[in-house]
Chains A and B, each alone.
Chain A
Amino acid sequence: MAPIVSIRNLTKRYATGFTALKGVDLDIEEGEILALLGPNGAGKTTMISIICGIVTPSGGTVTVAGHDILADYRKTRSIIGLVPQELTLDSFETVWSTVSFSRGLHGRKPDPALIERILKDLSLYDKKDTMLRHLSGGMRRRVLIAKALSYEPKVLFLDEPTAGVDVSLRKDMWQLVERLRAAGVTIILTTHYIEEAEEIADRIGVINGGRILLVEDKKALMTKLGRKQLTVELAEPLAAIPPSLAPFGLALAGTGERLVYEFSTTGERTGISSLLSALSQAGLRVRDVSTEQSSLEDIFVELVGEDR
């Protein structure tokens, strides 16, 4: 199936001369949830803003459902919904009027029943006649989400939807994302919380310095994460691995005094005990044993660190 959003060699150089995107390629599949991770200033908001029409690209192309975002902006923008990072709302409008406004702006006929349902889903219905400036930060965030849902987008961009949001609202938000996915909505969200990406995403992308460093299936990433390393420190260094230990697929590290064994914690048996007995049968004296597990956080830090 063709990707719903296809980004090719997208670049952005701001008027200040700063290059925020340095050739981004990314395909987003229909119906998936893609989490974009990246440090502050990585270019997440810039990328989303270009796709939505708020920032003009300097180079490259983006298509949404096969339509070019510049030439066919009417088509692409009626498919896309955006919940911006900043809590920008009109002060003097009511919750109901601002959400209805969004629907109209996107060319949809009024549908009070739908708006009522959205507001109820987001626990905003009792605030429907409240002026926006009288809402708390978390409520404003929900109003922004309600606005984006009001025109029933097929692709939804959530730019840090859970920034500054309390734990219970965050859980609500995740449930909402789950419901939207069930309804077939493609969701792209940016976040600084790695556990959030782990919790709800199908795929995880890492962006830094205007480049995509990695986009991978969460499951594949998790199996990588499910791998552990056992490091055996030997009393005397080895020149080569003895043939009797070949089945374990060991690697020799350092100056030969360390043996590295990789195993899966998800497998039925780890093979650690047979390795240890094989070591003593081979007459090797073990000084120390340690295990290590990499987390998504490690991968992230490592990727972004290398990139600097």
Chain B
Amino acid sequence: MNIEGVRAIYLFEMARMRRTLLQSVVSPVITTSLYFIVFGAAIGSRMQEVDGISYGAFIAPGLIMLTLLNQCIGNGSFGIYFPKFTGTIYEILSSPISTAEILIGYVGAAATKGLIVGTIILLTASAFVDISIAHPFLMALFFVLTAVTFSLFGFMIGIWAKDFEQLNIFPMLVIPPLVFLGGSFYSINMLPPFWQTVSHFNPVLYLVSGFRWSFYEIADVNPAVSLAIVVGFLVACLSVTAWIFKTGYKLKS
């Protein structure tokens, strides 16, 4: 195993992220604070509790997930897209390093940064509302699994994207609606039956619901199902990535 190679990629990526850390921490912190001020304090004060907890506390897990997904997809995709774009990928391709090792380097770094920013958001949230974590271990498991899975998903987008527009489609256009419609700001029980059914096709619902269960033991879907869906998605992403490297799809001509 080429441990030095993995370390080189990981540290390279972490250094790149450190250069943009300010922007990647400040912007989600501001956004999250705004959500808490607008939804939590202004609107939430007029709202009833949801499933027995204050509205502000209810939305916190969803907001953390929103940031985590965006960070991981953004970092994962940019990390591999950029060398492809500039041509420096030649060095990775001509190195004695395996697919798995490349993945550990890039995805590991993207997930690490996602987890750092996610933790900062969790702390920000706890400054606004009372947050209790009923199952810290499960919460950490969801946190890490989601970070890894979506960093990997981002990695795939980075390989697939042929320009910056495609690179941004997921973080800008796909993730926000899925997060907003995935029960981050409401319990799907509040929806009419038809929309409840539709919501069950939204993968983010399972993430947010499972994650929230680890905080407050309230969920829209069975937490075991949530966990299974995340693991399933992780396996799917791993398979696609393995295929990408095997065939050289969009990496080698």
Q: Which residues of A contact B (CB under 8 A)?
A: 14-15, 49, 52-56, 73-78, 80, 82, 84, 86, 88-93, 97, 100-109, 147
- Tell which of A14, A52, A75, A108 touches B94, judged by Cβ atoms closer than 8 Å: A52
**B1-9, B64-72, B139-147, B170-178: which lies at the interface:** B1-9
- Tell which of A49, A78, A93, A102 touches B96, judged by Cβ atoms closer than 8 Å: A78
Which residues of A lie under 8 Å from residue B2 when comparing CB positions? 74, 106-107
**23 A-B contact pairs sorted by A residue (CB < 8 Å):** A53-B94, A54-B93, A54-B94, A56-B253, A74-B96, A74-B97, A77-B94, A77-B96, A82-B90, A86-B87, A88-B90, A89-B86, A89-B88, A90-B83, A90-B86, A91-B86, A100-B8, A101-B8, A102-B91, A105-B4, A105-B8, A106-B4, A107-B95
Closest 3 CB pairs of A and B: A104-B8, A88-B87, A77-B96
Which residues of A lie under 8 Å from residue B94 when comparing CB positions? 52-54, 77, 80, 82
By DSSP majority rule, is chain B's interface helix, strand, loop, or mixed?
helix
Chain A residue, CB-CB nearest to B83 = A90
Q: How far is the CB of A29 from chain B (nearest CB, A)?
A: 22
Q: How far is the CB of B32 from chain A (nearest CB, A)?
A: 28
Which residues of A lie under 8 Å from residue B95 when comparing CB positions? 77, 105-107
Q: How far is the CB of A8 from chain B (nearest CB, A)?
A: 21
Contact in complex: A101, B253 (CB < 8 Å): no
**B11-19, B122-130, B157-165, B219-227: which lies at the interface:** B11-19
Which residues of A lie under 8 Å from residue B3 when comparing CB positions? 107
Q: Once A and B bind, how many residue pairs between them come within 8 Å at the CB atom?
A: 82
Contact in complex: B88, A88 (CB < 8 Å): yes
Chain B residue, CB-CB nearest to A97 = B15
B252 on the interface (CB 8 Å rule)?
Answer: yes
B92 on the interface (CB 8 Å rule)?
Answer: yes
Contact in complex: A14, B91 (CB < 8 Å): no
Which residues of B lie under 8 Å from residue A75 when comparing CB positions? 96
Q: How far is the CB of B4 from chain A (nearest CB, A)?
A: 5
Q: How far is the CB of A18 from chain B (nearest CB, A)?
A: 11
Knowing A53-B93, A53-B94, A77-B94 are in contact, say whether A90-B4 is a contact too (CB < 8 A).
Answer: no
Which residues of B lie under 8 Å from residue A73 when comparing CB positions? 96
Contact in complex: A54, B97 (CB < 8 Å): no
Interface size on B, residues (CB 8 A): 28
Contact in complex: A104, B252 (CB < 8 Å): no
- The CA-CA distance from A85 to B91 in the complex, in Å, is 13
Which residues of A lie under 8 Å from residue B252 when comparing CB positions? 54-56
B136 on the interface (CB 8 Å rule)?
Answer: no
Which residues of B lie under 8 Å from residue A14 when comparing CB positions? 253
Contact in complex: B90, A104 (CB < 8 Å): no
B232 on the interface (CB 8 Å rule)?
Answer: no
Known A-B contacts: A52-B94, A54-B94, A77-B95. Give 17 more (CB < 8 A).
A53-B94, A56-B252, A73-B96, A77-B96, A80-B94, A88-B86, A88-B87, A90-B83, A91-B86, A93-B12, A102-B91, A105-B4, A105-B5, A105-B95, A106-B4, A107-B4, A107-B96
Contact in complex: B19, A92 (CB < 8 Å): yes
Contact in complex: A107, B91 (CB < 8 Å): no
Contact in complex: A109, B96 (CB < 8 Å): no
**Chain B positions 226-253 with a Cβ under 8 Å from a chain A Cβ:** 248, 252-253
**Chain B positions 52-91 with a Cβ under 8 Å from a chain A Cβ:** 83, 86-88, 90-91
- The CA-CA distance from A144 to B253 in the complex, in Å, is 22
Knowing A14-B253, A55-B253, A82-B90 are in contact, say whether A107-B248 is a contact too (CB < 8 A).
Answer: no
Per-residue CB contact flags for chain B residues 8-44 toward chain A (1 = under 8 Å, else 0) read 1101100110010000000000000000000000000
Chain B residue, CB-CB nearest to A15 = B253
- The CA-CA distance from A14 to B248 in the complex, in Å, is 13
Chain B residue, CB-CB nearest to A109 = B4
Which residues of B lie under 8 Å from residue A104 when comparing CB positions? 4-5, 7-8, 11
